[in-house]
Amino acid sequence: MIRLRKAKIVATLGPATSDLETITQLFHAGADVFRLNFSHGSHEDHRRRYELVREVERASGRPISILADMQGPKLRVGPFAEGKVMLVTGAEFALDRNPADGDVNRVCLPHPELFDVVAAGQSLLLDDGKLRLEVLDNDGERIRTRVLHGGTLSDRKGVNVPDAILPIPVLTQKDLIDLEFALSLGADWIALSFVQRPEDLIDARELIGARAGLMVKLEKPAALDRLDEIVNAADAVMVARGDLGVELPPERVPGAQKRILRSCRSHGKPVIIATQMLESMISAPVPTRAEASDVATAIYDGADAVMLSAESASGGFPVQAVAMMERIIKEVEHDPLYRSLLDAQHELPLGTPGDAICAALRDVAQTIAAVATVTYTTSGHTSLRAARQRPVAPILSITPKLSTARRLALVWGVHSTVSPDVESVDEMVSAACSIAVRQGFANSGDPVAIAAGMPFGESGTTNLLRIARV
């Protein structure tokens, strides 16, 4: 089964997409990666959905990637005596350590670490940015603020602190339990929420090891200050525009998205554009024209994948939303301007043998009009470096490891397959040609360009380029 497009689609599973028939329909409509959102649902819910995806994988014969998205640290105010209050613009309001129920003058902020970093002049955003407070002073027990944008505030609504780096771990106790559960299932990617610094990845990297790819969600303005370091430390990136759009002014989000895309392209790390892509399709069978343009822009910019959240998890038209993304991606990728833009954004190869080989692979494949660029890989490194070059021909990735094939299902242009390892160059060429024909990429007489590493089976040894004719 060939996807006639390069960019990939991530579909979040939820109450609307929890049965085998619907997940099968999502896959055939175009979903390449399924996301399990650990902010919602029980472990049993996620286990059942995971097993159904694997059933679809077995039936289709195609590797499918599963992304486990950790909730991360959620900061919330305490409860109110009346359940909610009305904060009036211009009034003073305090957040303190007192556990008593709140009122119109104050509420408990049950996060002691915030009292160490919040300072006068900073902003606090409540309820996904609907209310904005200016900090007047902080004595360590009580943060006194003035309401800049008022409204109704109810129990346990979220708190965002855009102007400070928060001294809180990326992995909460809940996340640690969820992480081990997701790894025990066999999740291919683990996404960390609210990453602020590259140091935030250290503990997660140690816990995950080689069992899954480590994805960072960029949703804090502080992360943009050390963007290249964070991207370099991660295996993949998600532009989580929901929380990023709360803490950044809306007009700055498009520029931040392009900066992140450029950094990911430079480092050769897969990048997902997420949140509100086709949000009107939660309740309507077609998107707005602005939403269609938003998806198209991400593809024109060279994103590896675009993601559906509530549209596929709880919306009324999940299959139609995936199908719409598929149509938008295909339309963009058939536009001659798309290739011109990718070529204009083309990154020079890094100073490594793997990058040199994969840059040459791109040029050779274009010169000989190869029908496919074939990459042999154990760890996925060769296929990732080939994808960084954004070649015209599809990347037929061949690996002996199912876990690698699944992980690569997220990556731009990669058609991932599993095949036994080879032991010689002649065997490699023969297998590459045979698989290219069997997978529908080539016919007799067609040229293919092949990249691999010798000795075969060793990770990170990309050093071989070969031209063959089927």
Beta strand 213-218 pairing with 236-240: parallel
- Tell me, what amino acid is at 130? K
Active-site pick, 217, 262, 362, 390: 217
Asked if the peptide bond before residue 63 counts as cis, ω within 30 degrees of 0, the response is no
Q: How many other CB atoms sit within 10 Å of the CB of residue 24?
A: 17
Largest CA distance in the chain: 78
Residue 284 CB neighbour total at 10 angstroms: 15
Determine whether 217 is an active site residue.
yes
Q: Which residue reads 């303190």 in tokens? A: 96
Which residue is catalytic, options 47, 48, 54, 76? 76
Please count the residues of the chain. 470
Residues 6+ apart with CB under 8 A from 112: 97
Q: What's the token pair of residue 396?
A: 């037929």
Catalytic annotation on 275? yes
| CA dist., res. 147 & res. 429, Å (int) | 68
| Choice among 12, 17, 145, 275 that is catalytic | 275
Catalytic residue (choose from 6, 8, 35, 132): 35
Catalytic annotation, residues: 35, 76, 217, 275
